[in-house]
Structure 1
Amino acid sequence: MGKFRSKLKRHGKGKSWSKGQSAVSNPEQMKHRLKAKSRFFQPNLNLAAASSTNGLTMEAVHKHEQRQAYNADTTTVNDVAGSLKSFTLEDDDGMSGTGTQPSTVKTFQTFASNYSSCSNVSFKKLLTGFRASSDLHKEMLAILSALTEIIRERGGNESSTEYFLLLISQIEAATEERDIIAGVALLSMGIKSVPAPVLRKRFSETAETLQQLLQRFIESSSQSVIRYLIGCMSVLLRAQDYATWTYSSTFQYFDALLAFTIHSKPKIRKAAQHAIVSIIHGSCFMLPPTAGEGEAAADAKEEQPQTSKIKYHPASNRVTKFCLAQFKPEVLANSQTTVLHTLSLLKDTLAGFRTEDIRSVCENLLSIMTAANILVRTNCFQALHTLFLTRSANLNATLCAKLLAAIHEYRPDRNDVRQTLAWITVLKEGHLHLATLQLDLCMQALPRLFEICTTDLWLSERTELVVGVSNCIKELLQDCVARACATKELADQYRPSVIKIIGALHKVLNSPFGEISKYVILIFSIVFEACGKQFGSELMPSLTTIGKRYDSHGALRLQIEHTVISAIKALGPELVLRALPLSDANGDVSLERSWLLPLMREGATGASLQFFMEHILPLALNSQSLWRKHLQSGKAVSKAHIYELLCCQLWGLLPGFCRQPRDPEYLRKLAPTLGDALEHNTEFRSPIYDALLELLDDSQSPECHAIMGQYARNFLPRLFNIYTQKPNTSYEGEQRKRALAVIRAYIARAPAEVQSQLFETAQGLLAGSAVASFEYDSYFDINAAIVRVQKCRGIEAYFEKYMAPVLRNDKSKLVSRDEQKMKKQQRKTYELLRELMTSELPSCQKFTRKNCILLQQILLDAFNTTCSVCQASRL
């Protein structure tokens, strides 16, 4: 077999040793070794041999630590130190060439702190972010050090005002360009913390200086200085009061900034646009009034008496004229980039314009939206969206309605998903803004938008468009339609518009379902919440259609159940069961609609007890009879189980109907039925317990509590009998505990005479029971539930007779002699005593105050007689 030859080419020979030199390992190039030989701290970093003297001094170590602090790339500490040594302020500035750096308080603990002891936090950014490789930072640090020394010599406190005044003087006196740039950079840091009165006082001189510098550096290659100047001018103009904006010179300074908003350099353009936006929206007279501090705040309020009434900035007209000049046909044709920059400025400033200016700008925006450039149309949509989103009062209701009608005419093609989403989002925000201004105009315009969404946009095959339209409809329903249906008067006023909206949404239910199926069903849950209380009859056809689409194994099961629960909460069980009846033509429960029963229990709130008794209870009794019939025949056991489940589910609706019922007075007719079912039907006790707890809850009306108190004699004795029956299974044990919870809640709502009567009866039953037996423990729990609501005298009598002997472990017939039973008896007694002492009821608090010394003595004496299990409760 032949050999396979490798097709890989072998690498060429690299460096090789000459003959006889293979044992030599030293390389030919020794650059790093030679540097190591020269020693790092040697003053002259050359390749000469090291001197005999030791170069590792404390000064060298100090320099090395400083270098590591700022990670210099090329410039060394010696360079920085040398540049600062040559800088002098006076004859003796503490930085001579031979002397060492004097120690200062390192406010920020950085390398720059060694050369400037400035304590003003406005310059913290320079001191913490100092880079020795930057010439600008060196100049800034030198100027800052000089100004700090001057301020200290004059006895100043290094305030922002002092630095501001000295920086302006330094900039005006400087002749070299690098000194001016460094001064302006420092000024941009410190001017933000200068008090507004100082900026107003020095406005003319400072603004003139900044404008001259802008003209000087307009052609400069350095963008930073222009950005610094723009920022300083912005802070200066924002601090001026309303009266200053009546001068033509102020508008000249503003126009100077405005010219940079379409600059070709992005950083300069963004800085200028940010400056204009901050002036339009953030000037001192545009901001809401704040709490004054001393006399300065009082003076500011006197200077600006009408601050809260100013809705637009005086310079907004300048911005309007400037932007409209960029929308001329020749600019649109030759410089669309300038148009985009202008739209970017408008997006953030338009809300602060006058109403007339907003109208003019919007007209021009609509006119240029016909351009072929998709970026121009997108930016126009963004500007309009921001205008609506800010909820500006300058965009009044009439103008907003007209603008929305005009935007409808610029509807993009449905296949252009991004443009369509932008269009629908703008219209959504516009209608939300219009609803806050004038709801009637919004409701007049809203059906048109819903018609477009449901008949066209919602039927798109693009999922992102369907989701976007669904979110739009959801917000409009929650913020506009729900407001129009808040009261019966509003609902009658806007009924035609709401009916049109419901009709448009109902049409989608009748169309074949596709990708939008789950979105449509979930939207109807919002519809039921928004207008279900006032438009129940109009929504019943939609609910019927949704119910017919239910399939227990279908993909839309969860969405349909969520929507039906919303309908039950809003429309009420009566209308829902009228649209989706539970019974068939023969009056029997329809098994196909049994899925409604768990939903009814969860969603029923504020329902009618009369409806439950006249419609639900007959179905439950019918199912119970069929259950008994099939169970006795023994031939259809499966049907017996089905009707058993239906009967229990129908009774399970009772707690929902008792949750804040509309007709609590109907309890008088329902109470006897519930009492009989509680006593004779153990399988229905759980829902009846839940219903009683709902009716006794604090959220119920006083009328409901009063009616329940009237039937205390009907329910409480039955509950006592249930609790005293020994359970045979764990389920019965759990139901017994729930019966005690109902007793405790019910006894608090019972009338005083009923409480006293039941207390006497319960004490007699307790006395007649064998100590520590099941019956005794049951009656003790019942008495513990009743004694809490007794008067102080009754609590004292019960304590002396049934509790104190147990606590003292007396030899009494009321105290068990069996050790285990005695432990249980003591534990129950201690728990009851703790409950009485911690209760907020007036009678319990009175009992605790009146018998405080007695209780202390009993508890101290019981230290030796109390079992170990009860020591924690005793403490």
Structure 2
Amino acid sequence: MKVKTKKVVKWKRHNSCVSNPVQKKFREAAKNRFLEPFGKKSTGPSSLTVESLKKHDIGEQDSAEFDAQTFKTWATDFTCVSNATFGSVLRMHPNSAHQREILAVLAAITEVIKEQGGKETDTEYFAALMTTLETTESAESVTAIAHLLSLVIKRVPVPVLKSRFSQISKKLLDIISTYADKDGTSILKSLLLSLASLLRVQEMGVWSQSSVQHVFNCILTFLTHKKPKVRKSAQQAVKIVLKGSLFMTQPDPPPQHPAASLVAKFCVQVIESQGGANEALDTLHILGLLRDIMSTFPQNSIKSTCETVLRVMTVSNVLVTAAGLAVLHGLFSAQPQKSSLPAQLNAQIITALYDYQPSENDSQKMPAWLAVMEQAHINLVRLDGNLCISHLPKLFSVGMTCLLSERREVAQAAAKTMELLLQECVGKESENLAALTKTTVDFSQTPLGKIVRALESGLSYQFHSSWDLVLHLLGVGLEMLGKICPSLLKKCLRSMAELRETVNFAFSSQLDAAIGKAVKSIGPCLVLESIPLKFTGNEDNLDLARSWLLPIIRDNVCETELSFFTSHFLPLAARFRQKSIECTDQKKTAAAKTYESLQLQIWSMLKGFCTRPTDLSRSFKDIAKVLGTALNERPDLRMDIMAALRTLITHSKSNEADLEAVGKFSKNFVPILFNLYTSNPDNPKDPQRLAVLETTKVFFTVSDFQLVISYLDKCLSKIGEENVESFRKIALLDLAIAMVPYADHAHLKQLLDVAISNVEATDRSLQKKAYRIMEEICACSSDACKNFLSKYLDKLQELLLSSLSSANPNTRAPRLRCLIHILRQLNEPQTSFICAVVPEAILCTKVVGERARVAAYNLIIEISKTLLRWNSNKTEEEVLAGYVDLLLAGLAGSPQLISGTLLALTRVMYEYKENLSGDVLSNLVQNVCLLLKSKTREVVKAALAFIKVMLGAYSTTILTAHLSEMLSGMVSMKQDCKHHCHAKTKQIYLKLIKKFGYEAVHSMTPESVHKVLVNIRKTLDREKRQKNKNDGDEADDATEETPRKPQSESIEELLRDIDSEEEEPSNVKERRILTAKRRKGHQTWLKEETTKPEEKTVSKTAKKDHGFKVAPDGRLIITEPKDDKGEKLASDQEEDLDDLLTAIEGGSEKKRRKRLRNAEAADENENEPSTKYRAGGSGIHRPLQKKATDFGKEYRAKKAGGDIKKKGKPDPYAYVPFNFTSLNKRKQAKMKGQFANLVQGARKGAQKAKKEKRKRK
């Protein structure tokens, strides 16, 4: 019999992509139920009642807080307790029977207290609970009372607990004894904690009484209870008493708690009675407790307990041994007082632990043992440094043995332990050890000598598998021991150099880092004594085996003798230069280049030698003349010399003698630098010129005041000459600007006259320098500049306003910065000046230059600060409202002015987001939403930027009032602007959904937007599911690769993605590429060695990107970078919002991602032949790489029939790749045609092979 099945609804043909259902029965029902219009009549009773109105009136009443009606919870039906002590009870789960019993008991006790006129204090509740506990027999009620008692006893006044100690303890002990052997886990937990709270408030003298000790011993008996919760509560109670007693937390507490010896005695008895055989559960429980409290024991107790722990560790029980090591680790990590753990006892424990040293191949015990020894020595150095140093050699010997272990984790643990001991023990005792070494003749037999020999032994070949760890250790050792006993390290350095020069040494970078630490620690002189360079410049051969030392010294030298560079390296550099010249004359090009490179490497060391030199006041005079001559005659050395001079002065400002020694030679260096800067270079953009100017400024800081004034006089006189060329005049103006902080009133007047004469110059560079002079005068903090500015402030204001029409575009940035400084000097209100400045600031937010845009945003904020300063008698909201009204006037101008005004308003809104009134914000939102209907893309983009920043700046509560208006404005955008700003609007919808939820946004938008909202919701759900995955390492990797973006707090994060149309797709693409790379990096593959080493080298070299384009014949194509002046203005306008964020975050210039993508695409296209056209694009226009699908063709023999096996390839089968495109239904027929005869052909081949095999037999 055929069963009739229910007919299901199926998609129509070609409609499988439709997701919206035709029938909406349940949706309509839900809509009628929850979104019922106000005008529709309801069939049921009205929900608008008197009681409902009272709830709405609660917030408007002026009654006291305790008179207002509160919200009811599920616990309201049980109790109306007002004591905050029981707040945690009311927050517990309502479905628990135990919870309901607790609430019932609490309600009954509260009712009793209220009937007797109580005030519901903690003492009243405590007394009522104790009384109830005596008369209650039900286990459920006793459990509830005990729980409430454990909560309230913590808040009972201390005098009450002290005076009623005997009665309270007796009652609690009676209940404990009743339920000790019963199933009363919760009762025992609560009562044990109650006893701990009772004991912790008792005075120290009470602990000598037997009754108190009896109560405490009762808690100790539960330390080995069979139930884990009871046992844990007992341990917690012991910790509360020993560490949390009142007299232990007060100032000047006693060394130990009186009960500590009782705990120690009990623990020793339990361990000795059970030992470590079999499961030894009680022993493990006690060892777990000792790990946390053993540091609180007195000295005798610590000694006896340690002896017991060490004794039980001899039993061959892995768990007991591990727990014993954990106890000792906890003891040393807590760093107990010297009275509890003296240095001698600490040393004795260290010595005893060597008897329990595990095998170096035991990857579980050995790291634990090393961790205990590490903490033991760190604690010992705190108690007695010399005793600790004497114990270190033996541990280092053991550690070096562990480096030979077969288990890598053991070697790493040993290396980490030795590194920490060098830093914490040797490093902290460096001063004492340095003083001791002065009286020691032979270091070889000292503890430090033994440590160095142990470390040096790691350079032997038997440690080759751990050489990376050994070299890192040696680096730390050289750093710590270098200043203590440098003579001990010479042999070690020689051994390292010999190892570095061995063939195929694989750890050169680690060894170089170790020697670099030696250079920092003991200086280059002692390093070169141990590792000579082996070349003096007089050799005829080019054997430069030790040239690898020069970069190490260059990168690490500091705080050493400058005289060593003068006496050792300068002559060597001179000989190398002479050799280079001789080889050039002899046509030995390779040798000449080698010697030239060596002398440049030596000069590059100068900066390191000038970093806080120890003999600057004595040795600078010996090298000053050489440096001055080199600055004049050696252009290839100028950058190194100037960097060294700047470093020398900058790092010597704290030493007056050093500054004076350098300042004496400023009269020699400054003229050289002046000549270098004012001379016309071959390349106008030579980077050396900026370095020269910076070096000159640094020399001004150490020069005599009159000397700088004389330089300024000469500079001004040459600027005033008529025949001076333009380049030289601009250079002189730069130098004059650098000397503004040192000028007096008369010279400042001359500088201002120079600026005034060049403000309207036709040469834009001269005009820019004029504004730079004014900016420097306004920004300078010297007394002369301040007095001068106060006198000529009106003149500067008039000059800046009058020169606006003639100002060149490249002068906008210094002009705006001048205005910022002038506004800071204005103390009296000048509204007209503000009104004249605001339009320029708004328009400059749209200019091409980034510095000008950043300055414009800063000026807009500075105007607001000035207005607030002028109107201190008004509220901040009133002043800001007036400023916003002033800015809003720009919305009536051109599209560029409107766009700039919106950007300015966005900046002000974000800066004062907490101070703008609701009316001002509403007015802003209304105007912005109105501008969203504009036909101009530029205006619409700025309006969308305002909305996006606003969504990140304000909370949901404030934004709710403007949600409908914002959505209406975005929906009303013109079609062209919608298409152009699609990515930006989607970002805003995403933020709205995150803030208000999908349903709220969906209900306020028309159906035309619903498709975008559905896509956003699906994306969010997908991200949420991806985040919630927890499938081991894969889920962890996925979490790291796609972290949730935190809530934006800075405007940089808020506006990061608004600077270009295609930014969101690009970010998604970059994220996918990064994720793929990370996933690929996490995978592990076994790769067969099918190529020779030579072939690998060639392939790697071929794949290396050298940064140049390559022609088809292999030639390198080197081109000059293109000038960006021809770019469209629109591309710069896309970056307006990036400049808005740079104005806030400091003004650092950032690369534009869109330009970078275009540049990369252009570079890729340039690599292709120019005569061929290559189609491309995205979507259906993407380029497809089609390959012939003749499977097995590569295995066919060229002459004979059948297949052949080729070297380096898999067996000759037809390997069919898994390709998801083969599952496409539209290509189904095509795929069938390709694979129809594949299996049939395989069968024919197999039959043919069988026949041939039979014939051969």
Q: TM-score range by the shorter chain?
A: 0.7 to 0.9
Pair 1:479-2:421 in alignment: no
More divergent stretch after superposition (681-690 vs 697-706):
697-706
The separation in 1 between residues aligned to 2:645 and 2:181, in whole angstroms, is 85
Aligned to 2:561: 608
The separation in 1 between residues aligned to 2:255 and 2:348, in whole angstroms, is 21
Q: Which letter does structure 1 place at the counterpart of 2:591?
A: K
Return the offset for 1:500. Answer: 1.6
The separation in 2 between residues aligned to 1:22 and 1:766, in whole angstroms, is 105
The separation in 1 between residues aligned to 2:553 and 2:637, in whole angstroms, is 17
More divergent stretch after superposition (109-118 vs 648-657):
109-118
Return the offset for 1:283. Answer: 1.4
Aligned to 1:337: 281
Return the offset for 1:156. Answer: 5.3
Q: Which letter does structure 2 place at the counterpart of 1:576?
A: V
Aligned to 2:514: 563
Counterpart mapping for 1:27-426 below 5 A: 106=70, 110-132=73-95, 134-152=96-114, 158-289=120-251, 308-328=252-272, 331-332=275-276, 336-393=280-337, 394-426=340-372
Going from structure 1 to structure 2, the CA distance change for 1:152 and 1:661 (only over 3 Å counts) comes to: same
Pair 1:572-2:523 in alignment: yes
Return the offset for 1:207. Answer: 2.0
SS in 2 for 1:483: coil
Q: Which letter does structure 2 place at the counterpart of 1:441?
A: L
Going from structure 1 to structure 2, the CA distance change for 1:106 and 1:614 (only over 3 Å counts) comes to: same
Q: Which letter does structure 1 place at the counterpart of 2:681?
A: P
Identity %: 30
Return the offset for 1:493. Answer: 7.1
More divergent stretch after superposition (149-158 vs 160-169):
149-158
Return the offset for 1:751. Answer: 1.0
The separation in 2 between residues aligned to 1:23 and 1:553, in whole angstroms, is 78
The separation in 2 between residues aligned to 1:709 and 1:415, in whole angstroms, is 63
Aligned to 2:398: 452
State the Cα deviation string for residues 771-809 of structure 1 (Å, max 9, x = none). Answer: 78111100000111123212334323332x3123345x4
The separation in 2 between residues aligned to 1:23 and 1:602, in whole angstroms, is 83
SS in 2 for 1:264: coil
State the Cα deviation string for residues 247-267 of structure 1 (Å, max 9, x = none). Answer: 221111111110000111111
Aligned equivalent of 2:375, options 410, 421, 429: 429
TM-score, with structure 2 as normaliser: 0.57
Return the offset for 1:637. Answer: 1.6
State the Cα deviation string for residues 326-354 of structure 1 (Å, max 9, x = none). Answer: 13356555772211112112111111011
Going from structure 1 to structure 2, the CA distance change for 1:334 and 1:415 (only over 3 Å counts) comes to: closer
Q: Which letter does structure 2 place at the counterpart of 1:657?
A: F
Q: Which letter does structure 2 place at the counterpart of 1:560?
A: L
Structure 2 portions without partners, runs of 5+:
8-42, 52-66, 820-1257
The separation in 2 between residues aligned to 1:252 and 1:463, in whole angstroms, is 52
Kept in 1: contact 2:774–2:818 (CA 8 A): no
State the Cα deviation string for residues 416-460 of structure 1 (Å, max 9, x = none). Answer: 332222222211111110100011111121222122222x22221
Return the offset for 1:873. Answer: 3.4
Aligned equivalent of 2:408, options 463, 474, 480: 463
Aligned equivalent of 1:513, options 423, 440, 463: 463
Going from structure 1 to structure 2, the CA distance change for 1:832 and 1:586 (only over 3 Å counts) comes to: closer
The separation in 2 between residues aligned to 1:57 and 1:200, in whole angstroms, is 61
Q: Which letter does structure 2 place at the counterpart of 1:557?
A: S
Return the offset for 1:853. Answer: 4.2
Kept in 2: contact 1:582–1:590 (CA 8 A): no
State the Cα deviation string for residues 459-481 of structure 1 (Å, max 9, x = none). Answer: 21211111111011011100111
Q: Which letter does structure 2 place at the counterpart of 1:624?
A: R
State the Cα deviation string for residues 372-428 of structure 1 (Å, max 9, x = none). Answer: 212212111111111111000111111111121121222223333322222222111
Q: Which letter does structure 1 place at the counterpart of 2:80?
A: S
Aligned to 1:642: 594
Q: Which letter does structure 2 place at the counterpart of 1:582?
A: L
Return the offset for 1:513. Answer: 3.3
Kept in 2: contact 1:140–1:183 (CA 8 A): yes
The separation in 1 between residues aligned to 2:804 and 2:44, in whole angstroms, is 81
Q: Which letter does structure 2 place at the counterpart of 1:112?
A: A
The separation in 1 between residues aligned to 2:141 and 2:722, in whole angstroms, is 103
Going from structure 1 to structure 2, the CA distance change for 1:245 and 1:834 (only over 3 Å counts) comes to: farther
Going from structure 1 to structure 2, the CA distance change for 1:764 and 1:214 (only over 3 Å counts) comes to: same
SS in 2 for 1:728: coil
Going from structure 1 to structure 2, the CA distance change for 1:371 and 1:56 (only over 3 Å counts) comes to: farther
Going from structure 1 to structure 2, the CA distance change for 1:328 and 1:203 (only over 3 Å counts) comes to: same
Return the offset for 1:206. Answer: 2.2
The separation in 2 between residues aligned to 1:856 and 1:169, in whole angstroms, is 86
Aligned equivalent of 1:440, options 379, 386, 398: 386
Aligned equivalent of 2:709, options 744, 756, 769: 756
Pair 1:525-2:475 in alignment: yes
Aligned equivalent of 2:615, options 636, 647, 663: 663
Q: Which letter does structure 1 place at the counterpart of 2:512?
A: E
Return the offset for 1:284. Answer: 1.5
Pair 1:703-2:633 in alignment: no
Aligned to 1:305: none
SS in 1 for 2:403: helix
The separation in 2 between residues aligned to 1:198 and 1:860, in whole angstroms, is 80
Alignment size in residue pairs: 752
Kept in 2: contact 1:104–1:114 (CA 8 A): no
Counterpart mapping for 1:786-865 below 5 A: 786-799=739-752, 801-807=753-759, 809=760, 816=761, 818=762, 821=763, 823-864=764-805
The separation in 2 between residues aligned to 1:448 and 1:146, in whole angstroms, is 69
Pair 1:681-2:634 in alignment: yes
The separation in 2 between residues aligned to 1:286 and 1:556, in whole angstroms, is 54
The separation in 2 between residues aligned to 1:422 and 1:311, in whole angstroms, is 30
Return the offset for 1:22. Answer: 5.3
Q: Which letter does structure 2 place at the counterpart of 1:479?
A: E
Q: Which letter does structure 2 place at the counterpart of 1:832?
A: I
Return the offset for 1:154. Answer: 5.6
Return the offset for 1:236. Answer: 1.9
The separation in 2 between residues aligned to 1:146 and 1:789, in whole angstroms, is 85
Q: Which letter does structure 2 place at the counterpart of 1:502?
A: V
Q: Which gives a bigger RCO, structure 1 or 2 (Cα 8 Å, sep 6+)?
A: 1
The separation in 2 between residues aligned to 1:104 and 1:705, in whole angstroms, is 74
TM-score, with structure 1 as normaliser: 0.81
Going from structure 1 to structure 2, the CA distance change for 1:340 and 1:642 (only over 3 Å counts) comes to: same
State the Cα deviation string for residues 155-208 of structure 1 (Å, max 9, x = none). Answer: 655443443333223323334332221111122233334444443344333222
Return the offset for 1:148. Answer: 3.4
State the Cα deviation string for residues 273-331 of structure 1 (Å, max 9, x = none). Answer: 12112211221222253xxxxxxxxxxxxxxxxxx141111001111111121133565
Return the offset for 1:859. Answer: 3.6
Going from structure 1 to structure 2, the CA distance change for 1:493 and 1:458 (only over 3 Å counts) comes to: farther
Structure 1 portions without partners, runs of 5+:
1-15, 26-53, 63-102, 290-307, 810-815
State the Cα deviation string for residues 708-740 of structure 1 (Å, max 9, x = none). Answer: 11111211111111111233337x611111100
The separation in 2 between residues aligned to 1:185 and 1:118, in whole angstroms, is 16
The separation in 2 between residues aligned to 1:330 and 1:784, in whole angstroms, is 87
Return the offset for 1:604. Answer: 0.8
The separation in 1 between residues aligned to 2:364 and 2:112, in whole angstroms, is 61
More divergent stretch after superposition (719-728 vs 610-619):
719-728
Return the offset for 1:555. Answer: 2.8
Pair 1:722-2:660 in alignment: no
The separation in 2 between residues aligned to 1:213 and 1:56, in whole angstroms, is 56
Going from structure 1 to structure 2, the CA distance change for 1:750 and 1:24 (only over 3 Å counts) comes to: closer
State the Cα deviation string for residues 742-777 of structure 1 (Å, max 9, x = none). Answer: 011111211122112211111122222657811110
